[in-house]
């Protein structure tokens, strides 16, 4: 064993390579990561082998270390070649076949070194020599060695050419990283030249190639680490940015274009190659208001409208500021996404929906007018039929009377239907007005109850009512329409109940944060409503079971009108029901009590 500080250099290189390899390994997966880890591993073997060789003095021991050194050298050169292929966008050539091919030479070299005493092809002579008090091995290189050297330098040369091409092609934004890589890859050439030419100031047995290769490994690691290869190495940029249909422009701190993709060139009608390095405002002419936006230092996500080639175009403009670690703005990425088509479709949709709304309104208006006009002759029919039934046009015999009664009943049914349609279409056409004025709740309830108690008893069912005494005597509201709501609910209750009771409960609701409310509850013990239909019964013409229509009559309009009326009054309606056991409809309305004196009637026009 002997000691020399030159061995130490190699051990330091070994450790640094180990660390770099680990650092990049932690970044996987990513383009070039595996190649880089292999590169670091190769350099580790190379430097460690060279270091040990300097420490041992026995020739056999020295020869043993060359296995490690050459495994490292051959591995690093192959790994470097693979790394450069991937880095410069030729990753698709890195196939299993290529890897196997690249492994041939390292294996061959190992075999040649092992069998060298038999053929002396790798080293013609090996001798120990004392230099500066150290025992060093002198190798006389054989033909196989020179073939290996040519092969290794061939790989390095191809890598160098690939890097130069990439440098020429890449946009300024990426030129920095490519340049560093290119320059660093020159250092092994220089070190090797010094070693071979013996121009190195160090003793001639010291090979500086491992430390110089460390520079390459470190620069590659820096590129991978700093630029996160996957994100913005030239390859990733080419495939993502170049192929994108959105326009992408990268602008530096002084508003100069440093990168622009083909979509942006097409959009701005700028010939390729003229834009890079020039101020954005100079290249993008006639779009001052757009370029003005590029100056934004903060992130922007807005819509812009502009004219390009005489056509109005809409874009979604996104500006993403890029900052360095000191938080200084280094560049801005401008992304223009064409939304002209989307915008036009939206506008067309808007027009179409406005038209549809208008036509529905006109239809409802027509219905309102028509049903109003229909009522007049119908009222005449009803009036005259009643007169004739009263015997005003002479005595009727039984058959005549029966016929006239049928006419009267059907006309009244028709009138009810027309009234429903008129109400609904008036609400829909926006021609519906609430007449808000004070009314006496007790009188209002009594009136309704009196009318329906008779109807219920005729059908053989009970009728009950309850009025909460805490309700104010007078409240503000549209008594006529409120009556219409309750009458509708009670009529349904009676209609769908065969036995039992229909009851009406009017009460004051417990105080609520957003105001006072009162409620009217109509409960029946009838057929009930299936759960799935409890929402739909409020839509027009809807009936739970159309066979019921035949049994009970009705149009499916009643609850729709009730619902709309309640909504215009600012109230709500909900239904609870058990099939076969009965239903409960609860209407909740804002309670506006009338204080002291009754105010003048208020008319609210609601749509």
Q: Which is nearer to ligand ADP, 21 or 558 (CB)?
A: 558
Q: Does 315 bind ligand ADP (CB under 6 A)?
A: no
Q: How far is the CB of 526 from ligand ADP (least distance, A)?
A: 5
Q: Residue 520 in contact with residue 505, Cβ under 8 Å? A: yes
| Among the listed residues 10, 40, 177, 492, the single contact to ligand ADP using CB under 6 A | 492
Q: How far is the CB of 559 from ligand ADP (least distance, A)?
A: 3
Q: Which is nearer to ligand ADP, 348 or 578 (CB)?
A: 578
Q: Does 418 bind ligand ADP (CB under 6 A)?
A: no
Q: Which is nearer to ligand ADP, 440 or 491 (CB)?
A: 491
Q: Does 548 bind ligand ADP (CB under 6 A)?
A: yes
Q: How far is the CB of 586 from ligand ADP (least distance, A)?
A: 12
Q: Does 490 bind ligand ADP (CB under 6 A)?
A: no
Q: Which is nearer to ligand ADP, 241 or 529 (CB)?
A: 529
How many other C-beta atoms are found inside a 10 Å radius of the C-beta of residue 413?
12
Q: Does 520 bind ligand ADP (CB under 6 A)?
A: no
**Segment 557-576, which members bind ligand ADP (CB under 6 A)?**
557-560
Residue indicated by tokens 């121009």: 199
Q: How far is the CB of 523 from ligand ADP (least distance, A)?
A: 9
- Cα 35 from Cα 79, distance rounded (Å): 5
**Residue 489 to residues 448, 502, 510, 577: CA-CA distances in angstroms?**
11, 10, 23, 14
Q: Does 456 bind ligand ADP (CB under 6 A)?
A: no
Q: Which is nearer to ligand ADP, 210 or 558 (CB)?
A: 558
Q: Which is nearer to ligand ADP, 187 or 492 (CB)?
A: 492
Q: Residue 468 in contact with residue 506, Cβ under 8 Å? A: yes
Of 74-82, 116-124, 382-390, 525-533: span binding ligand ADP (CB under 6 A)? 525-533
- Cα 313 from Cα 221, distance rounded (Å): 45
Q: How far is the CB of 564 from ligand ADP (least distance, A)?
A: 11
Q: How far is the CB of 416 from ligand ADP (least distance, A)?
A: 9
Q: How far is the CB of 373 from ligand ADP (least distance, A)?
A: 23
Q: Residue 175 in contact with residue 163, Cβ under 8 Å? A: no
**Residue 176 to residues 187, 509, 600: CA-CA distances in angstroms?**
17, 76, 83
| Among the listed residues 87, 174, 315, 496, the single contact to ligand ADP using CB under 6 A | 496
3-state SS assignment for residue 78: helix
Q: How far is the CB of 541 from ligand ADP (least distance, A)?
A: 8
**Kind of pairing, strands 501-508 and 462-467?**
parallel
Q: Does 524 bind ligand ADP (CB under 6 A)?
A: yes
Q: Does 21 bind ligand ADP (CB under 6 A)?
A: no
- CA R_g for the chain: 47
Give the distance from CA 254 to its chain's centroid: 33
Q: How far is the CB of 354 from ligand ADP (least distance, A)?
A: 30
Q: Does 527 bind ligand ADP (CB under 6 A)?
A: yes
Kindly tell me the number of DSSP H helices and DSSP E strands found in the chain. 18, 15
**Residue 416 to residues 10, 111, 491, 571, 572: CA-CA distances in angstroms?**
105, 108, 13, 25, 25
| Among the listed residues 7, 493, 519, 523, the single contact to ligand ADP using CB under 6 A | 493
Q: Does 544 bind ligand ADP (CB under 6 A)?
A: yes
- Cα 584 from Cα 577, distance rounded (Å): 6
Q: Does 555 bind ligand ADP (CB under 6 A)?
A: yes
Reading phi first (left if > 0) and then psi (alpha if -120 to 50, else beta), residue 594 is in: beta
Q: Which is nearer to ligand ADP, 423 or 524 (CB)?
A: 524
- Cα 148 from Cα 441, distance rounded (Å): 110
With contacts defined by CB under 6 A, how many residues of the chain interact with ligand ADP? 21
Residue indicated by tokens 């942006």: 264
- Cα 109 from Cα 115, distance rounded (Å): 10
- Cα 576 from Cα 103, distance rounded (Å): 80
Q: Residue 493 in contact with residue 523, Cβ under 8 Å? A: yes
Q: Does 529 bind ligand ADP (CB under 6 A)?
A: yes
- Cα 437 from Cα 31, distance rounded (Å): 79
Q: Which is nearer to ligand ADP, 32 or 554 (CB)?
A: 554
Of 76-84, 145-153, 319-327, 537-545: span binding ligand ADP (CB under 6 A)? 537-545
How many other C-beta atoms are found inside a 10 Å radius of the C-beta of residue 169?
14
Binding footprint of ligand ADP on the chain (CB under 6 A) = 492-493, 496, 524, 526-529, 537, 542-544, 548, 554-560, 583
């Amino acid at each position: 064993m002997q000691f020399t500080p030159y061995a130490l250099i190699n051990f330091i290189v070994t450790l640094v390579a180990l660390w770099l390899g680990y650092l990049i390994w932690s970044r996987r997966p990513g383009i070039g990561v595996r190649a880089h880890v292999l590169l670091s591993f190769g350099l580790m073997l190379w430097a460690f082998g060279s270091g040990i060789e300097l420490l041992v003095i026995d020739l056999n021991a020295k020869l043993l270390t060359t296995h490690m050194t050459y495994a490292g050298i051959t591995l690093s050169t192959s790994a470097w070649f693979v790394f450069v292929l991937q880095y410069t966008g030729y990753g698709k050539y890195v196939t299993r076949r290529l890897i196997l091919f690249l492994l041939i030479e390292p294996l061959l070299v190992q075999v040649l070194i092992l069998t060298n005493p038999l053929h002396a092809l790798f080293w013609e002579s090996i001798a120990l020599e004392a230099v500066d008090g150290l025992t060093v091995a002198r190798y006389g290189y054989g033909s196989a060695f020179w073939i290996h050297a040519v092969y290794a330098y061939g790989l390095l040369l191809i890598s160098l050419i690939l890097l130069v091409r990439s440098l020429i092609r890449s946009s300024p934004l990426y030129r920095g990283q490519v340049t560093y890589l290119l320059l660093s890859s020159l250092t092994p050439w220089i070190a090797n030249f010094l070693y071979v030419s013996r121009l190195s100031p160090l003793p001639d047995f010291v090979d500086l190639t491992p430390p110089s290769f460390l520079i390459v490994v470190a620069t590659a690691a820096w590129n991978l680490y700093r630029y996160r290869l996957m994100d913005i190495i030239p390859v990733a940029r080419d495939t993502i940015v170049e192929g994108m249909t959105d326009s992408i422009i990268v602008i530096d701190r002084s508003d100069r274009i440093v990168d622009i993709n083909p979509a942006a060139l097409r959009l701005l009608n700028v010939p390729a190659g003229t834009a890079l390095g020039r101020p954005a405002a100079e290249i993008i002419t006639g779009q001052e208001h757009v370029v003005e936006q590029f100056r934004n230092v903060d992130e922007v996500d807005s819509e812009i409208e502009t004219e390009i080639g005489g056509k109005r175009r809409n874009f979604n403009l996104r500006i993403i500021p890029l900052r360095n670690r000191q938080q200084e703005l280094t560049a801005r990425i401008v992304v223009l996404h064409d939304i002209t088509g989307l915008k036009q479709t939206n506008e067309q949709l808007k027009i179409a929906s406005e038209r549809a709304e208008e036509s529905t309104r006109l239809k409802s208006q027509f219905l309102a007018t028509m049903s109003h006009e229909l009522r007049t002759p119908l009222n005449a029919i009803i009036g005259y039929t009643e007169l004739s039934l009263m015997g005003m046009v002479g005595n009727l015999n039984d058959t005549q009377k029966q016929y006239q009664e049928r006419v009267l009943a059907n006309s009244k049914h028709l009138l009810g239907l027309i009234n429903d349609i008129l109400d609904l279409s008036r609400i829909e056409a926006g021609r519906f007005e609430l007449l808000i004025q004070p009314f006496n709740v007790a009188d209002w309830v009594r009136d309704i109850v009196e009318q329906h108690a008779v109807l219920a008893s005729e059908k053989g069912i009970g009728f009950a009512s309850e009025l909460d005494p805490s309700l104010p005597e007078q409240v503000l509201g549209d008594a006529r329409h409120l009556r219409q709501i309750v009458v509708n609910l009670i009529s349904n209750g009676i209609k769908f109940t065969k036995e039992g009771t229909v009851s009406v409960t009017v009460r004051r609701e417990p105080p609520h944060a957003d105001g006072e409310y009162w409620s009217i509850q109509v409960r029946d013990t009838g057929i009930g409503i299936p759960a799935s239909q409890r929402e739909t019964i409020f839509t027009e013409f809807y009936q739970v079971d159309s066979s019921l229509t035949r049994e009970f009559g009705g149009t499916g309009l009643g609850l729709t009108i009730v619902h709309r009326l309640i909504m215009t009054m600012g109230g709500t309606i909900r239904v609870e029901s058990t099939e076969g056991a009965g239903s409960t409809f609860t209407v909740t309305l804002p309670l506006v009590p009338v204080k002291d004196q009754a105010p003048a009637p208020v008319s609210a026009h609601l749509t």
